[in-house]
Each structure stands twice: as C-alpha cells, then as structure tokens.
Amino acid sequence: MEGPGVADLRDLFLRRWHESHDSRAAHDLDTDERYPDVRIIADTPDRHSPLFQAHRDAFTAARRRIWMANSYFAPPRRMLRALAEAAARNVDVRVILPAVSDLPLLKLAALARVWQWLRAGIGVFEYRPAMMHAKYAVIDEDLCSIGTFNYNSASVGLANEVNLLVRERGFVSRVAAMFEEDLACCGEVTARSMSRRSGWARALDRVASAGVTFVDLLWGPR
C-alpha cells in the first residue's frame, strides 16, 4: 500500500503495541470517507464490530457478485441472512473454504452448515492444493476487502482485526482475477458430495456446529 493511508496503519500498529500493555485503552479505527479509494477499518474484541457491519452493508448493497475466500467461514446469523438475501436477488454468491483446515472444529462446523448455505443459494468450494489462509472478498466491480477478518463470531468478539476496503476498480479487477485462479484449484461442495459423509462424520459436524453456535451466543455481533 502507498499513500497517506500508510500513516494510519503505522499509527494503528503503535496503538496496538501500547494496548498490549493496557487493553483498557483499546479502541477501533475507521477512516470512513477520508480517502477516495480505500477505507481502513480495525476493530477490537467487541460485539459492536465496525468490520462486521461494513461487510454486512456491502453484502446488502451488492447487485452482481459476492466472491469470498475465507479460511474460517462460519457467518453469524445476520451476515448469513444478508448473503442469502443477496443470492435470492440473483447475486452470484460464492465462498472458497480450505479443504483441510488447521482449525478442525471450524471446518467440521462449516460442513454441518453447508446444507443451509447451499439451500440459500450460496456456492461453496474447497481449495485443495494446500491449507488456505486467505481472507478476502470481492463485491461487484467496485469494492474488495483484504485483511484479517474472519466471517465468524470469534473474530468479532475475541480478536483484533484489520481490513482494507478498496474501491479502486483496477485493483478490484485484479483481486477478482485472483479469485478465479483460486477457484480453478477447488472442488465444488454439493448436496451429492455431502451425502457421502458417514453418519459418524455428520454427528461430529453437528457437535462442532453446536460449539460454534455457543460462541455466536457469547461473542457474536449485536
């Protein structure tokens, strides 16, 4: 990244450095409309998350596509509703997940919820070459998000996160091309492929999903 926004990221680093010694001082950062082509949002462990809200707003406004790659995808209810409503108005909603995760609990929880996502019209794909740790999204032709934010409640209520929301169309186009390259390395998750999972595996999926639901209740966005 180049330009005046770099100073915001520098100041954010120093702020987080000092907050590591005194968490009571922690607070969010949102450059909002300060710059024409990028918005920097950093939030703290709090159920009122500007990052969650910014993504939900973008999904609600989407008209053509919502393409996401996220290593720990387990969207809270309000975010899932925004994605389902987008799919219902013929927005192309797709998400890439890792085929193999370094957090098995979230992977199993995702598998338990895939049925709901598929019924909502969300295309689900698994990235197979390696453990995927990407966290980015492309919304229409004029917005993309890149950063640390995971679409789950633990990311909202328990973590410091920071994302760039970029509005520069050339950059958005390059990120969309990257998504298509990643998609070419994926296998699609379908009702048929899910039906091959054993009863024991599905039981583990449901237990993991119940754990994620508990996290949603305790730390999910308000």
Q: What is the pLDDT of residues 48-100, one digit of tens each?
A: 999 999 999 999 999 999 999 999 999 999 999 999 999 999 999 999 999 99
Q: Which residue has the tokens 């119940």?
A: 210
Q: What is the DSSP letter of 165?
A: E
When pLDDT is cut at 50, 70 and 90, the band that residue 23 belongs to is low
135-139 sheet: strands from edge to edge: 29-30, 38-43, 161-166, 143-147, 135-139, 65-70, 92-98, 123-127, 186-189
Q: Is 110 helix (H, G, I), strand (E, B) or coil?
A: helix
> Shortest CA distance to 67 belongs to which of 21, 122, 30?
122
Q: pTM of the prediction?
A: 0.94
Q: Give the CA distances from residue 107 to residues 132, 204, 218, in Å, rounded to whole numbers and listed in that order.
A: 12, 11, 20
The answer to whether 167 touches 37, Cβ cutoff 8 Å, is: yes
* Structure-block tokens of residue 169: 């169309």
Residue 25 has pLDDT above 80, yes or no: no
Mean pLDDT in the chain? 93
What percentage of the chain has pLDDT greater than the value 90?
79
First to last CA, the chain: 32
Q: In angstroms, rounded to a whole number, what is the distance separating the alpha carbons of residues 84 and 93?
A: 8
Q: Which fold has domain 5-219?
A: Endonuclease; Chain A (3.30.870)
Decide: 75 and 48 in contact? Cβ < 8 Å. Answer: no
pLDDT at 214 over 70: yes
pLDDT at residue 197 in the model? 86
Percent of the chain scored above 70 by pLDDT?
99
Q: Tell me what pLDDT residue 28 has.
A: 92
**The pLDDT of residue 172 is above 90:** yes
Counting every residue written for the chain, the total comes to 222
Residue 24's pLDDT is what?
A: 67
Q: Which amino acid is located at 57 in the chain?
A: D
Question: Contact at 8 Å (CB) between 140 and 65?
Answer: yes
Q: Which helix (H) or strand (E) holds 12?
A: helix 5-19
Q: Which token pair is 187?
A: 């296998």
**195 token code pair:** 């039906």
Give residue 27's pLDDT: 85
pLDDT at 20 over 90: no
CB atoms within 10 A of CB 98: 24
